[in-house]
Structure 1
Amino acid sequence: MNDPERYTTVAAALTEVEAEVSAAEAHGMLCGLFCTPDEPEAARWMAQVLEGLSPKGEPARTVLEALTELYHDTRDRLQNDSLEFEPLLPDDDEPLERRATALGQWCEGFLFGLGIARGQAPSPLPREANEVVTDLTEIARIDTDTEGDEDSEIAYTELVEYLRAATLLVREHTALPSSTRPADGGTPPTDLLH
């Protein structure tokens, strides 16, 4: 369902530098930042994730490598037409409480990243994307003190799938270039003006 090895690597690297941002939240933030026509700068995202920290030595190298790999993997999966994108969350073998907490953090990160991205491109969101924002706001408040029964597991799985589809939907409405936008970003061709 998700990439538990990558999650573990990023989480360990962030813990090593005492980052306040979790692996899930960092990934959600990155996905929100990718919801703009302009590709977000990796360095800017990393600075946001590591805000207030000054990691040095091997922990600094490790966290920068982990975040760089996460950035490139996320970009590639979001731009890939084969729909390989998945939110970065703990392994399904982890206790449901831990996975639910990470799910809420992922949503918080996404909303934060989307807010930054929308600040750069302040046009209103389409109705479908607004509905997703409302849903993610609710999911961010997920009750993490829940029993790990079969119904809760099914609900969790459905929420993860919803996040995957919702991210791709918002990105489609906010990041993909408009067919009327000039490819080079310059002035529109004159034949469109007549």
Structure 2
Amino acid sequence: MNDRFRTPPFDEIQTTLSRAGSLSQAAEVHGLLVGMYCADQSLSMHRWLGVLQQELSDVAALQADGRVQLESLFTATGAALADETFGFEPLLPDADDSALDERAEALGAWCQGFIYGLGREAADRIDALGADAREYLEDLREIAQVGFDADEPSDDDETAYAEVVEYVRMGALLVHASLAPRTTHDAPVQLQ
């Protein structure tokens, strides 16, 4: 894997936020970042950190190592979104370390962060998105509300979760491409 795409692990970002006293999830913070990046592909790290500080006032208490973690997340996310090989992945808990209900909750938080970041930065352009991208945003609103409640998740539950994560991943890339400044050679991206 290219080092430009190497995001800090979910647990490290969550620990960074927790040390700063934040109640926000790493997934929500990453969703916010991706939504803002989709809206403004020249987004600066300073601007994103400013929004974090404004929206999550407790982020101001970040230690130097925490700021480095968030800077690394910012850089890797921007590179992954711009990558033509679709290297982007939403920042979510690892399946080996987290139960399915925790991962589903984090996915919902990621979706909420994405919707907020995109709406904050591109509310005036959302209606101009193609039908696939607008449908994706509606789906994200529903995914953000879904919970998972089972004592013993089945293989089918795990498969369904993986499929939803893949849909969220590809949809974010669709929105990113849809809002990118166009050149005459660009073809629109479509969700399958």
Q: What TM-score do the two structures reach when normalised by structure 2? A: 0.83
Show structure 2 runs of 5+ residues with no match. Answer: 1-5, 185-192
| 1:125 is aligned to 2:145 | no
- Aligned partner of 1:36 in structure 2 is 39
Show structure 1 runs of 5+ residues with no match. Answer: 181-194
1:4 and 1:90 in contact (8 A); partners too? no
- Aligned partner of 2:22 in structure 1 is 19
2:17 and 2:24 in contact (8 A); partners too? yes
1:170 counterpart letter in structure 2 = V
- Aligned partner of 2:165 in structure 1 is 160
- Aligned partner of 1:81 in structure 2 is 84
- Aligned partner of 1:112 in structure 2 is 116
Deviation per residue, 1:134-170 (Å, 9 max, x gap): 0100100111323421121111000111111101111
Q: Report the CA distance between 1:62 and its aligned residue.
A: 2.1
2:115 and 2:137 in contact (8 A); partners too? yes
2:35 and 2:118 in contact (8 A); partners too? yes
1:126 and 1:173 in contact (8 A); partners too? yes
1:90 and 1:102 in contact (8 A); partners too? yes
1:21 and 1:49 in contact (8 A); partners too? no
| 1:65 is aligned to 2:68 | yes
RMSD (CA atoms) = 2.0
Question: Size of the alignment, in residue pairs?
Answer: 175
Q: Report the CA distance between 1:47 and its aligned residue.
A: 2.8
| 1:142 is aligned to 2:175 | no
Q: What TM-score do the two structures reach when normalised by structure 1? A: 0.82
Counterpart-to-counterpart distance in 1, 2:87 and 2:67: 24
Runs of 4+ in 1 over 4 A off after TM superposition: 120-123
Residues 1:170 and 1:41: Cα distance change in structure 2 (over 3 Å):
same
Quick check: which has more Rg, 1 or 2? 1
Q: Secondary structure at the match of 1:35?
A: helix
Q: Secondary structure at the match of 1:113?
A: helix
Q: Report the CA distance between 1:48 and its aligned residue.
A: 2.6
Identity, % of aligned positions: 34
1:84 counterpart letter in structure 2 = G
Q: Secondary structure at the match of 1:19?
A: coil
Counterpart-to-counterpart distance in 1, 2:126 and 2:163: 31
Counterpart-to-counterpart distance in 2, 1:123 and 1:131: 11
